[in-house]
Amino acid sequence: MNLLDFALGIAAAFLAEELFGWVDRLGQWLVCRAARKLPEEQARRYEQEWRQEFSSLPKFSRLVFAVDLQRAAFVMNHQMTLPHVSIFIAALVRLIDIVGAVLLILVTFPMLALGVIGLKTQRGVRSPVIERLERVGYMGRRFSLLKLMVSDPSVSLRSGERPRIRGLAWLVYLARIDELPTTLNVLRGDMSFVGPRPESPEFARLLAEHFPEYSERQRVRPGITGLAQVRQPYAGTLALARRKLEYDLEFVTSFGVWRYVSIFLETVWIVLVHRR
Amino acid sequence: MGRGKTDGEPRITHQSLKVLSAFVSDPYRELAGADLFRVTKLASGTLYPILARLEQARWLRSKWENIDSADAGRPQRRYYRITPTGLARASALLAEISRGLRA
């Protein structure tokens, strides 16, 4: 063996070690990601169980194990939430969400970039433009709903005063560009394009106190639009809130591709024709 | 939110029969995920939903291994074991299938 062979051998061993290190880290991240998709009371148990199994496997199998756990988490959630619906229907709906979100992000990226530039120009480069609103989502899990911040965070408000939208921010709001980051929530799996409206934890708690069946709407991902939103846009009273909940529960029991598509088309019709 | 059925009949598929067979062949044996991968040759995306389904129906139960992680130098394993109900139902199912195959 000459010196070159020896050096190549050392380099190959070093690269393999480095590669396995990275693959291991990626695998561990995927294991945690899969476990955290489960309901909170189960996430801890499965994270520990799966991490242990991951570390006991041969290095070559670890990544396959971790990648396939994403499927395990999806199926386990489905078994708990929508056992009456075929897993293939649920997977198809999720696939439509992912493909739709990717396409929408690609198509609307210039508008979003203009919106961000507009807000930054108005308020200064260091000013935050993304708003994270805490919402209750799929199986009661909390998530951050992403939006562009149209109201100026540097303006202090007196109690009860509504934030004012000024200048370019008003254009962003009018063109609904502020809602485009929500597409990222759909891509991440926090939300779907169609589903019950995601509520704040306080409002969700209040509604759950009045309506014991309220948590049933958490069997599906919350949506940007939904059956309740197209049939009953406003819910200023408890009676109307109950009516909206009935629509949400109707959506859960009749969950399917046709339901999803029809609500989506109905929303497009309402937005384009009725300008609601 | 309701968490689906408990104590009911779990959905039985070809793959869940493989898992049940692993337990029925030695009912007193406790099996970890790694043992079940080896015996059933199922992938993690298939195996864990089956284990969750059987556990929810009370055909299986699971518990953490009784070791001190620091002493053992590794984290505790989660072990699965078949319950008397699970054993009775799974044995009946497997016998029925084997009778069907012989007929």
Q: How far apart are CA A21 and CA A226, in angstroms?
A: 44
What's the pLDDT at A237? 85
What's the pLDDT at A157? 57
A51 touches chain B (CB under 8 A): yes
What is the overall mean pLDDT for chain A? 89
The more confident residue out of A191 and A158 is A191
C-alpha distances in angstroms, A133 versus A161, A195, A198, A212? Answer: 19, 18, 10, 25
Give per-residue pLDDT as tens, A36-88. Answer: 999 888 999 999 999 999 998 888 889 999 999 999 999 999 999 999 899 99
Query: What DSSP line would sit under A103-171, residue for residue?
Result: HHHHHHHHHHHHHHHHHHHHH-TTS--EEEEEEE-GGG-EEEEEEE--S-TTS---TTPPPP--HHHHH
H helices of chain B, where? 14-24, 33-40, 44-56, 69-72, 84-102
Q: Is A195 left (phi over 0), alpha (psi -120 to 50) or beta?
A: left
Sheet holding B60-64, edge to edge: B31-32, B78-82, B60-64
Burial A129-144 (b: 16+ CB within 10 A, else e): bebeeebbbbbebebb
Q: Which of B31, B48, B77 to mutate to test the interface with A (most CBs of A within 10 A)?
A: B48
A-facing residues of B in 47-86 (CB < 8 A) are 47-49, 52-53, 56, 74-78
CB A169 within 8 A of CB A204: no
Q: How far apart are CA A84 and CA A101, in angstroms?
A: 26
What's the pLDDT at A233? 72
CB A178 within 8 A of CB A172: yes
Work out the minimum CA distance from A73 to partner chain B, whole angstroms.
8
Q: How far apart are CA B6 and CA A177, in angstroms?
A: 45
Nearest to B90 by CA among B31, B6, B10: B10
Q: How far apart are CA A177 and CA A108, in angstroms?
A: 9
The more confident residue out of A97 and A111 is A97
In percent, the amount of chain A with pLDDT more than 90 equals: 59
Q: What's the whole-number mean pLDDT along residues A101-105?
A: 96
The reply to whether residue B1 touches residue A48, judged by beta carbons under 8 angstroms, is no
**Structure letter (DSSP) for residue A217:** G
CB A150 within 8 A of CB A173: yes
- Pick from B1, B43, B77: which is nearest to A219 by CB? B1
* Sites in chain B below the pLDDT cut of 70: 1-8, 103
Phi/psi at A124 (nearest 5 deg)?
110, 150
A220 burial via Cβ count (<10 Å: 0-12, 13-18, 19+)? buried
What's the pLDDT at A4? 83
What's the pLDDT at A129? 86
Q: Tokens 């992000």 correspond to what residue?
A: A105
Contacting residues for A163 by C-beta, under 8 A, at least 6 apart: A151, A152, A155, A157
Give per-residue pLDDT as tens, A205-258. Answer: 999 999 999 999 999 999 999 999 998 877 778 888 899 999 999 999 999 999
Q: Residue A32 is encoded by which pair of tokens?
A: 């945690």
- The structure's pTM equals 0.82
Give per-residue pLDDT as tens, A105-156. Answer: 999 999 888 888 888 888 788 888 889 999 999 999 999 999 988 877 666 6
A139 touches chain B (CB under 8 A): yes
CB B44 within 8 A of CB A65: yes
What's the pLDDT at B3? 45
The reply to whether residue B44 touches residue A68, judged by beta carbons under 8 angstroms, is yes
Phi/psi at B32 (nearest 5 deg)?
-95, 170
Q: Residue A267 is encoded by which pair of tokens?
A: 């929303």
Q: Tokens 């969750």 correspond to what residue?
A: B52
A53 touches chain B (CB under 8 A): yes
Lowest mean pLDDT of A97-101, A200-204, A270-274, B35-39, name the range: A270-274
Burial A232-262 (b: 16+ CB within 10 A, else e): beebeeeeebeebbbbbbebbeebbeebbee
- Pick from A68, A83, A219: which is nearest to B43 by CB? A68
